[in-house]
Structure 1
Amino acid sequence: MSFLSDINPILFLGCSVLLAFYIGQGARFFRLPMIIGYLVTGIVLGPSMLNLLDHKTLEGLSFIIDIGLGIVAFSIGTELDFASLKRLGFGIVSVILAESFGAFLLVFLSVYLFSQDLVLSILFASIAPASAPAGTVAVIKEYKAKGPMTKALYAVVGFDDALGVIIFGFALTFAKAVLVSRVAGEGALITFEVWEPLAEIALSIAAGAVAGWFFIRLAEKLGENGKMFILVFATVLLLSGLSLQFHGSLILTNMMAGIILTNLSHPYMIQKVRLAIDTVLPLIFVLFFLVAGLHVEIWLLPSIGLLGTVYIAGRSFGLVGGAYLGSAIGGMEKKIRNYLGFGILSQAGLAIGLGFMAKNELAKLAEEYQIADAAAIGTAILITITATSVLFELVGPVATKFALKKAGEIETSQKKG
């Protein structure tokens, strides 16, 4: 039971946001990104430690994470103009492919050598490419980073989630077929839906593109920036709600709307939108990482064990090595080759969501086909991914700052913070 089970959620948010803000300021004293302070505040106030909120109230705050992620995704889209991406060239495509499949392959091999279980290995591998764009973008914004590395990070953390969803969809289909073949025989013909991840991505892109076009038409009639943010906020709410309602990609839908805006509208309008978003992003980041911290179950960390350690090592080396290889193949400059992989280590919401999906699908399979180990595999995946995400969410922002600093894209005045 929570310590303050009947506390007013608004009162709690007011106190905790103020506390998180100053703890975030304190984090800079230790040369850490402020979002580490926000996250730690949530962890301390949440069920992991002080347990100030009951489960129902805590779940009632989950919508803040969805809204925050939607605004971050829209913000990423506004930074992805085709002219900048064209200057990055084929390299950005090769990076996204190489880091995603690098993480997939290395985690698969590592987990398989450790467990000798094909299903466990393929599912862990398929979750590995998923990143957490909010952490990366928060660090970029905090330190006012600019340059080719920053542009590359925006593109990678936006698009690798889309690729990750597709990889997971096909991997889950394969894993289910393998499990069923164990009880039905090698010759059994079992059909599962493989088009769902592709349909999810296609519909998300289409919805975001249409919304972006309508946004431009409406934005042309607005005046000051205050009104502009109302339009941005309403668009993000609408697209995020539609994505959740119809199981689309919240990140990709909002990001696509931002991409359409930044590539089809006047530079003056784009600047007004960016200014409106940047004005409120500091508050969004405090709320987002505070609530994310409230949902962290820090007590899961000891449960990482050898399997979790293998996953962490495989994913980290896969992302860093894949980003290096992709950058080299794409002819990108040395600083991007050497440090881009460190900027994409964060992992949280999407990975845990995929873990839940794997657990639920395998539980259904276990009941339908009487497969004894299917449910156990799903549970092991969810627990391990949740526990390792805590670590990645704490280490990821620090690694992103390291990458940007090494690339020389943090403003001189910001390096002291």
Structure 2
Amino acid sequence: MIIQNIQSFIHGLHLDPLIIIGVIVLLGIYFGKGAKLIHLPSIIGFMVLGVLLGPSLLGVLSGEFQESIGFITEIALSFVAVSIGLELSFASLKKQGGGIVLTIFTESFMAFILVSVLMYLLTRDLALSILFGAIAPASAPAGTVAIIQEYRTKGPLTKALFAVVGFDDGLGIIVFGFAAAFAKSILSAEMGMETGSFVSLMSGPLMEVGLSLLVGSLNAVIFIFLGRFLKTGRDLFLLLFAMVFLSAGLSIMFHMSVILTNMVLGIVIVNTQPQNFVEKIHEELTQIMPLLFILFFVLAGSNLHISALPELGLIGLVYIAGRATGLISGASFGAWAGRLPVSIRKYLGLGILSQAGVAIGLALIVKKELAEFGAHGAEIGDIIITTVSATSIFFEIIGPVLAKFALTKAGEIRKTA
């Protein structure tokens, strides 16, 4: 009753969105500081603030408000993606050897296989199980990047984390596209619908990935050409700012992956330009990231509804256990087989458990696209969106904490941080 009265009072104020954004940033600064005082990453403080301001409690961040500023999430994910891309130097990957590539494949596919198998043993629903498995490899790069930037970590584990959280999302998006097509073919057969050839089912995801790679590359070429006429890091950043927005807008307009498109933008830049050119961009980019992290994680926290926790159930527990076990064991095995440093073998898996934006986005796609496949399709969509949203609460709390723990044990967090 008290919470409802507070929500009614706040709604009656009719706060302008700019006031709410100002409050988010203002309180976010101190919630982040508060989290650090108890030795937690600041993004935990941002997410707690999001839950407090969200529909579950005070209701400041109402569904209507979140819909009106949904573009902020896209912007934040876009800048996180380009910052990851700017770290993915092929020369650096070559120094790490083929082991890191092997590790990306083993951790992604181990999570996919383990979650799919466990879900099938529990539910006996192949379409549902395959889709859960396909969402499992998706990480939350924002969480990992935030920890790395906040504590200014350096070392082999840091480089491996940048590579893995970047490329496993790209790989995860590709795997999801094929899994979704397979699930649709199963549901179509159940309904007696014409499924078409397997090749025709695969054309959609292949087109999405191909267009994302093409648009990201073309925008990088435009950036590089125009950047030749600019000298200062500030001017280069403003140009990058424009290209990131352009990439994000085109991705949304033509149903491409915002993350993949902007990641490719960063990858092309870092692999074709001199190091001092890239460093100028980095210096400016790191200035805006803290603001984006506050906005992104507060909004993410507001979507973590407390009421969803009791609905987690056995499916949620199996998903959590299967995903965590698959990622940790897959990363460890890949690093061992690829003869990577001991710190990577021991701790890489602990640093890639965060899951939120990308996974929730994929879950929303499932809910939307499977609604046309009758009651079973709608049921699968509801189960997946509820479970992934609820388990994100767990992974977004435990993920950054374990990432910090892993980087600390690997000796890559500075004592002054």
TM-score range, shorter chain: over 0.9
Structure 1 distance, partners of 2:353, 2:174, is 19
Structure 2 distance, partners of 1:178, 1:263, is 42
- 2:397 is the alignment partner of 1:394: yes
Residue in structure 1 matching 2:346, options 338, 341, 361: 338
Q: Which residue of 2 aligns with 1:4?
A: 10
Cα-to-partner distance string for 1:7-50 (whole Å, 9 max, x where unaligned): 01111111221111111001111110011111111110111211
Structure 1 distance, partners of 2:83, 2:188, is 43
Q: Which residue of 1 aligns with 2:206?
A: 198
Q: Counterpart amino acid of 2:166?
A: G
Using a 3 Å threshold, how does the CA distance of structure 1 residues 121 and 224 change in structure 2: closer, same or farther?
same
- 2:302 is the alignment partner of 1:294: yes
Cα-to-partner distance string for 1:105-139 (whole Å, 9 max, x where unaligned): 11011111111222221111111111111111000
Structure 2 distance, partners of 1:408, 1:145, is 9
Cα displacement (A) at 1:374: 2.5
Q: Counterpart amino acid of 1:328?
A: W
Structure 1 distance, partners of 2:308, 2:400, is 21
Q: Is the 8 A contact 1:132 1:157 kept in 2?
A: yes
How does 1:98-137 map onto structure 2 within 5 Å?
98-137=106-145
Structure 1 distance, partners of 2:163, 2:409, is 19
Q: Which residue of 1 aligns with 2:233?
A: 225
How does 1:11-410 map onto structure 2 within 5 Å?
11-184=19-192, 190-191=196-197, 193-366=201-374, 372-410=375-413
Structure 2 distance, partners of 1:229, 1:63, is 20
Q: Which residue of 2 aligns with 1:411?
A: 414
Structure 2 distance, partners of 1:320, 1:332, is 15
Cα displacement (A) at 1:3: 4.3
Q: Counterpart amino acid of 1:129?
A: P
Cα displacement (A) at 1:360: 2.1
Q: Is the 8 A contact 2:54 2:62 kept in 1?
A: no
5+ residue gaps in structure 1? 367-371
Q: SS at the partner of 1:79?
A: coil
Structure 2 distance, partners of 1:227, 1:189, is 52
Structure 2 distance, partners of 1:291, 1:2, is 21
Q: Is the 8 A contact 2:54 2:302 kept in 1?
A: yes
Structure 2 distance, partners of 1:247, 1:183, is 27
Structure 2 distance, partners of 1:282, 1:243, is 24
Structure 2 distance, partners of 1:284, 1:243, is 20
Cα displacement (A) at 1:249: 1.2
Cα displacement (A) at 1:182: 3.1
Q: Counterpart amino acid of 2:406?
A: A
Q: What TM-score do you get using the length of structure 1 for normalisation?
A: 0.94
Q: Is the 8 A contact 1:17 1:290 kept in 2?
A: no
User: More displaced, 380-389 or 291-300?
Assistant: 291-300
User: More displaced, 86-95 or 188-197?
Assistant: 188-197
Q: Is the 8 A contact 2:191 2:373 kept in 1?
A: no
Q: Counterpart amino acid of 2:380?
A: I
5+ residue gaps in structure 2? 1-6
* Percent identity between the two aligned chains: 50
Q: What TM-score do you get using the length of structure 2 for normalisation?
A: 0.94
Structure 2 distance, partners of 1:297, 1:356, is 16
How many residue pairs match? The answer is 407
Structure 2 distance, partners of 1:288, 1:358, is 23
Cα-to-partner distance string for 1:146-178 (whole Å, 9 max, x where unaligned): 111111111111111121122112212222222
Structure 1 distance, partners of 2:368, 2:70, is 20
How big is the alpha-carbon RMSD for the aligned residues of Structure 1 and Structure 2?
1.6
Cα displacement (A) at 1:390: 1.9
Q: Is the 8 A contact 1:4 1:53 kept in 2?
A: no
Cα displacement (A) at 1:183: 4.3
Cα displacement (A) at 1:189: 5.7
User: More displaced, 344-353 or 316-325?
Assistant: 344-353
